[in-house]
Amino acid sequence: MSWTITDDIPSRRIFTRPLNPIELHLFYDGKLNGVADLVENYLVATSDESLFHPENVSRAWVAIKQIFPLLGATTKEIESQIPGALLVVSEFDLKIARPNDTTLGVAQSEEEVHSFVDQLISGPRQLSDELLAPLYIYSRTDKPGHFHALFHHCHLIIDGISALAMIRTFFDVLSLPPYPTIPDLQTRLALCVGTHNLNPNKHLSNAQIRWRKAAGHIIRQIRLQNQRVRLWLLTSSKLAHPERS
């Protein structure tokens, strides 16, 4: 389940990785009318409206794709008897603003933005195999200097915790001068591994894994029993000496 290079042309490398079972479930959940899709709605108030100029938003999003390359990834279903799919990351795509990567619009009120969010969640799916994480920016006509940033992404490539890191980085890049250093793609992708690769016991045999689970269960039971004893002693002490509590 590691990344492989299918096209090694400089600056146009293409990396692929098979989806693991958990990712594959999320992949098909997404196809079921976006069951696993997420929307993060951030309201930003600023006195410098140039921050949300289309060129600056596009610049920041291209930079973010290179820091978090799965934002610019695509998926490809494998035609076989056993269901499967690939994550595909094109180095060229990460360096350009693709159509529908970012969309800028205008909203008359906060309720209008919430209505659009509801459409993203409950309406026809806007994500696809070719677009896993678009960004929508809506400026508020009723409140000058107020903007809604809607981060719409497939749960396959990001979750709530990692989204916080990505969104914080996006606003940093958006508000700072252009950063010339481009992260090495192969190094960044090395961090984008399947959850099963994070298991520290994966190198062990099945017998060793079963033994460790059994030992862990026994240790847990002993600790829980000790906690119950300490709690009972503390409760008994308070009942016997209420003036100490």
In this prediction, residue 236 carries a pLDDT of 62
Asked if residues 245 and 238 have their Cβ atoms less than 8 Å apart, the reply is: yes
| Calpha distance 117→107 (Å, rounded) | 12
- Decide if pLDDT at 197 tops 90: no
Range of the structural domain that residue 141 is part of:
4-198
Q: Please list, in sequence order, all residues whose beta carbon lies within 8 angstroms of the beta carbon of residue 241, skipping any fewer than 6 positions away.
A: none
- My answer on whether 91 and 191 are in the same domain is yes
pLDDT at 6: 87
pLDDT at 226: 77
Q: How far is CA 45 from the centre of its chain?
A: 24
Q: How far apart are CA 222 and CA 216, in angstroms?
A: 10
Q: Specify whether 130 is located in the same domain as 173.
A: yes
Mapped onto helix, strand or coil, the DSSP state of residue 132 is: coil
Confidence class for position 223, pLDDT limits 50, 70, 90: confident
For residue 133, give both structure tokens: 């994480």
**Gap between the Cα atoms of 211 and 13, Å rounded:** 43
- pTM value? 0.80
Q: Are residues 40 and 96 in the same domain?
A: yes
Residue 122 in tokens: 């409950």
| 128 and 227 share one domain | no
Same domain, 117 and 181: yes
Burial (Cβ within 10 Å: 0-12, 13-18, ≥19) of residue 25 = middle
Please, are residues 2 and 18 in contact by the beta-carbon 8 Å criterion?
A: no
CA-CA distance, 3 to 16, in Å (whole number)? 6
Rounded-to-integer distance, Cα 126 and Cα 38, Å: 11
The pLDDT tens digits for 11-34 are 889 999 999 888 999 999 888 878
- Indicate the pLDDT class of residue 240, thresholds 50, 70 and 90: low
Question: For the residues 152-177, what does the mean pLDDT come to?
Answer: 92
Average pLDDT, the chain: 88
Q: 149 and 212 share a domain?
A: no
Tens digits of per-residue pLDDT, 117-141?
A: 999 999 999 999 999 999 999 999 9
Give the CATH number of the domain where residue 132 resides. Answer: 3.30.559.10
What pLDDT score does 193 carry? 78
> Percentage of the chain surpassing pLDDT 70?
89
Q: Strands, DSSP E only, in the chain?
A: 4-7, 14-18, 37-45, 74-78, 84-90, 102-107, 135-140, 146-154
Residues 54-94 pLDDT 10s = 999 999 999 999 999 999 999 999 988 888 999 999 999 99
Residues 162 and 218 occupy one common structural domain: no
